[in-house]
Amino acid sequence: MDKEIKELQEAISKLKEEKGAVILAHYYQRREIQEVADYIGDSLELSRRAASLPVGVIVFCGVHFMAETAALLSPEKRVVLPDLEAGCPLADMATPEEVRLRREALGHPLVVCYVNTSAAVKGESYICCTSANAVEVVGKLPEEAAVLFLPDRNLGAYVKGFYPQRAIFLWPGYCPVHEGVEAEDILRLKELHPRAKVLVHPECKPSVVELADKVASTSGMVKYVRESGAGEFIVATEKGILHHLAKVYPEAKFYLASPRLECPDMKKITLEKCYKSLLTLEPRVQVPPSVRERARRAVERMLRL
């Protein structure tokens, strides 16, 4: 099995060079995918990387909205997603029609969309944000403006906690993976590892966020491990990140907060599909020009901050 993986990885590396392609992989990807990637990061880091790299082909190992964001920022490049079925249930919880209706019903608040949305929803939004900068993005909006935050209610509630006086309306979406962690999971692990620091992604429920030593995006977690000086960590985000953390910080110990922290969509990307994508440069992800300009505006507003 290991031999098969190794052979496929070697074939991918060779083909990648032949095609002049770069492989980008999200922290939640399978270990063997992370091993063949040129860059590993969170969705925004990878999209920015895609835009700045002087290559014509990007194989994006992640889920659909991530490849779409990369295509949005670099329409001249060929962005390939090895499995078009790798979606994000959270992103699917808001459609552009629903956003238009809700915005109208609420008297036209500023729409702040999490990066986990389709390009069409980004096109209906004033500004985009990530889990790393959501608090900052909302803080930079005019104080008197009401905000509709979508689609993640847990991230929205976390942001709202920083601005209790502001009118912030929350969308009822959630990530089924992060929502699966319970406060009891953390408390149980805390008993077993009392010295461990608790790292929680803000897509988790507020009752879990409350128990965190650090609430952070995936890239924020990697940074916290580097800077905290601690040796043990309970990690409440998708399990794929443990591979990266263990590789970069081999002396530290990491405990996954719950066995439910596995995203089936992220795991749809396999080495075989990655190889096939490189061979055919399909399936390509593109954003229609009619959507692109408006969606890009929301993302660029965020990048300017």
Q: Which residues bind ligand SF4 (CB under 6 A)?
A: 63, 88-90, 116, 175-178, 238, 263, 265-266
Q: Looking at beta carbons only, is 26 or 78 nearer to ligand SF4?
A: 26
Determine contact, residues 302/127, Cβ cutoff 8 Å.
yes
- The C-alpha atoms of residue 270 and residue 273 are separated, in whole angstroms, by 5
Shortest CB 289 distance to ligand SF4, Å = 26
Residue 201 structure tokens = 């992604």
Q: Looking at beta carbons only, is 141 or 181 nearer to ligand SF4?
A: 181
Shortest CB 56 distance to ligand SF4, Å = 27
Q: Looking at beta carbons only, is 91 or 141 nearer to ligand SF4?
A: 91
Residue 85 structure tokens = 């079925």
Determine contact, residues 117/88, Cβ cutoff 8 Å.
no
Shortest CB 135 distance to ligand SF4, Å = 18
- The C-alpha atoms of residue 93 and residue 171 are separated, in whole angstroms, by 9
- The C-alpha atoms of residue 158 and residue 210 are separated, in whole angstroms, by 10
Q: Looking at beta carbons only, is 88 or 285 nearer to ligand SF4?
A: 88
Shortest CB 65 distance to ligand SF4, Å = 8
Shortest CB 179 distance to ligand SF4, Å = 9
- The C-alpha atoms of residue 167 and residue 144 are separated, in whole angstroms, by 9
Helices (H), the chain: 2-19, 31-36, 43-52, 64-73, 96-105, 119-123, 134-139, 153-160, 183-192, 206-209, 218-228, 240-248, 271-280, 289-304
